Structure 1
């Protein structure tokens, strides 16, 4: 696969049996960021190859119009998958930041014997005064407490 990384692709079409598809999908999706379609010569493609990284299925019995639509649908599925993966990473990061702020707020309220609301207001004020993100202040609070 090292030679493949030097080439320019617009789409990857895997021509492998269903039993090896998952392995190839894993490898291809980690090495490349392109739509991945499966060339299926098997009789039951829908039941043998469902996978979240697979953007489409092509079959030998398709006519030109069906192939064209399958390629377009595969491209659209890829764009949707990439968008959802980016959104998932963004939201996961935000959730972790919220958890850290909440943990710092609780720790600070216990340490200073104040309400959680007052602890949050104190962290917010610190963030504004120091021109830092709230999560950075939360990290420093958690570091000081430990």
Structure 2
């Protein structure tokens, strides 16, 4: 991983003359010295176009602002989001922090180049694992929802036609094949039509 977007949101920046970034300990300055390609932004509007070429985003912002930065950035493009831990960004005590923070990793100015590389590597892996879990969860929820429609339609067909549920399921399956639709979609149509006809 070499290309990073760094969000720097400091109220009173002291410019680093060599690179045009804030202090020598800022995320952008440290990452540049460690050999990363860094694109810096201080507003969401500046950051969004930069995300397309980045492999991760480092938020050099107070922890109390992390979520308000993370949400629009990840809505634009899902990439690993790391927090830059410093005196400036740790603006409240952990015991006083009530918010939820979803960071894929934490970086500090005291890390060596090797430590930064390892931290970024583990952060990317964590991000990929979290995305995979979210995808699997979504698939499971969809299957559960499909199963609910199928069970309801099966029950309605069985009771209204006075047939066993196995036969009702077979009717749904055949109809789905004939219409080249998912069985859950056919089941939802059956339930919705029944409710419409019966004023439910």
Pick the TM interval, shorter chain: 0.7 to 0.9
Q: Does 1:60 align with 2:109?
A: yes
In terms of fraction of residues, the more strand-rich structure is 2
TM-score w.r.t. length of structure 2: 0.63
Q: Does 1:138 align with 2:187?
A: yes
Deviations 1:8-54 (A, max 9, x none): 32210001112222222223222221111000015799876873x31
Q: Does 1:33 align with 2:78?
A: yes
Structure 1 vs Structure 2 CA RMSD: 2.5
Please give the alpha-carbon distance, in whole angstroms, between the structure 1 residues aligned to 2:187 and 2:158: 12
Structure index of larger Rg: 2
Q: 1:4 offset after TM fit, Å?
A: 2.4
SS in 1 for 2:106: strand
Please give the alpha-carbon distance, in whole angstroms, between the structure 1 residues aligned to 2:114 and 2:100: 23
Q: Who is 2:166 aligned against? A: 117
In terms of fraction of residues, the more helix-rich structure is 1
Change (3 A) 1:130 1:4: same
| Structure 1 unaligned blocks of 5 or more | none
- Equivalent of 2:69 in 1, 24, 28: 24
TM-score w.r.t. length of structure 1: 0.83
Please give the alpha-carbon distance, in whole angstroms, between the structure 2 residues aligned to 1:140 and 1:32: 35
Q: 1:136 offset after TM fit, Å?
A: 2.5
- Equivalent of 2:152 in 99, 103, 106: 103
Change (3 A) 1:46 1:12: farther
- Equivalent of 1:84 in 107, 110, 133: 133
| Structure 2 unaligned blocks of 5 or more | 1-43, 196-200
Change (3 A) 1:83 1:45: farther
- Equivalent of 1:3 in 13, 35, 46: 46
SS in 1 for 2:107: strand
